[in-house]
């Protein structure tokens, strides 16, 4: 059983996909626009996304690039376009597989199973890694797992990348240009991108910009992550006990 997001604006196709996937015991959520899809992946964890290219608000190829900015969830492109050059471009832009419309439900099931096997095998083969500890935060960069006070954090791809990058430099103010270059792989960009992800990350860490615990913004300078007052960077209090 998998958690699936169907991004398809054709109501007939969408209903057929939902029915088939539900009958196959998958959990399904569906949307009809690219912006709705971005909101969904920002707030819910999915095992696979089935993405139509002919969306009313944004071309699916652009939606794919935006999805890859916030999540590493496997994406299967569903398209009526059969141009080889475009298919190669989509795969290079982060798609995990593609299906040419019309396709059978059996074909979709087989492609989904293959993508999920690859995804789960990759997750299961992750080698041991050095865990970063900052106060009550525990971050495993290779396994891409994070915990706060022993509870797992449900982070999107970009939220995790941002948290791990800052946690690797506890107490150091990181300029926004460096964050864009290292986390977003962009030489320039809108500061609002960073602010939005910081806001989402703060919410999951149980803090706000007005009352920060771990994430501190220095206006006009950058961002730093450090343990709450009374904790050392490795998560212990000054007397050696856990806070």
Tens digit of each residue's pLDDT (9 = 90 or more) over 45-73? 899 999 998 899 988 888 898 888 888 88
Q: Is residue 166 situated within a structural domain?
A: yes
Of 124, 157, 173, which closes a domain?
Answer: 124
Task: Give the bridge partners for 122, in sequence order.
Answer: none
Mean pLDDT to the nearest integer, 125-147:
80
Residue 167 sits in which domain range?
A: 132-225
DSSP label at 56?
S
Q: Looking at the structure, do residues 120 and 10 belong to the same domain, yes or no?
A: yes
Number of domains into which the chain is organized: 2
Q: Compute the distance between CA of residue 75 and CA of residue 98 in angstroms, rounded to an integer.
A: 8
Whether residue 58 is found in the same domain as residue 105: yes
CA distance 236 to 170: 14
pLDDT in tens, 73-124: 899 998 888 787 888 888 888 888 888 888 888 888 888 888 888 776 555 5
**Do 92 and 137 belong to one domain?**
no
pLDDT band at 188 (very low <50, low <70, confident <90, very high): low
76 is a domain residue: yes
In this structure, what CATH number is given to the domain that contains residue 176?
1.10.10.10
Nearest-angstrom CA–CA distance, 10 and 161: 34
What is the CATH number for 81? 3.40.50.2300
pLDDT at 40 exceeding the cut of 70: yes
The answer to whether residues 103 and 37 belong to one domain is yes
pLDDT of residue 144: 84
Interhelix angle 157-167/191-204, nearest 10 degrees: 90
Does residue 187 lie within any of the structural domains?
Answer: yes
Pick from 124, 156, 184: which residue ends a domain? 124
Does residue 170 have a cis peptide bond before it, meaning omega lies within 30 degrees of 0?
Answer: no
- Is 243 part of any domain? no
Report if residue 78 sits inside a domain.
yes
Query: Using CA atoms, how far apart are residues 21 and 80, in angstroms rounded to an integer?
Result: 20
Cβ neighbors of 190 (< 8 A, separation 6 or more) are: none
Both 104 and 35 in one domain: the answer is yes
* Nearest-angstrom CA–CA distance, 61 and 55: 10
Contacts for 87 with CB less than 8 Å, ≥ 6 apart: 81, 98
Is 208 within a domain?
yes
């Amino acid at each position: 059983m998998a958690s699936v997001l169907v991004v398809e604006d054709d109501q007939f196709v969408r209903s057929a996909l939902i029915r088939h996937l539900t009958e196959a015991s998958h959990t399904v959520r569906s949307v009809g626009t690219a912006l709705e899809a971005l909101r969904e992946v920002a707030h819910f964890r999915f095992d696979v996304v089935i993405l139509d290219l002919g969306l009313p608000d944004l071309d699916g190829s652009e939606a794919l690039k935006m999805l890859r900015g916030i999540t590493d969830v496997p994406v299967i492109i569903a398209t009526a376009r059969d141009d080889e050059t475009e298919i190669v471009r989509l795969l290079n832009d982060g798609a995990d597989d593609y299906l040419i419309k019309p396709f059978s439900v059996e074909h979709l099931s087989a492609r989904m199973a293959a993508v999920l096997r690859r995804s789960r095998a990759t997750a299961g083969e992750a080698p041991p890694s050095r865990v970063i500890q900052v106060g009550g935060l525990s971050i495993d960069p290779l396994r891409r797992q994070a915990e706060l006070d022993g509870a797992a954090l449900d982070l999107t791809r970009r939220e995790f990348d941002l948290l791990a990058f800052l946690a690797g430099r506890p107490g150091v103010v990181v300029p926004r240009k460096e964050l864009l270059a290292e986390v977003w792989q962009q030489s320039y960009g809108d500061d609002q991108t960073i602010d939005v992800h910081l806001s989402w990350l703060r919410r999951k860490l149980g803090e706000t910009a007005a009352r920060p615990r771990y994430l501190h913004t220095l206006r006009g300078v950058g961002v730093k992550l450090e343990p709450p007052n009374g904790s050392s960077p490795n998560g212990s209090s000054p007397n050696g006990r856990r806070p």
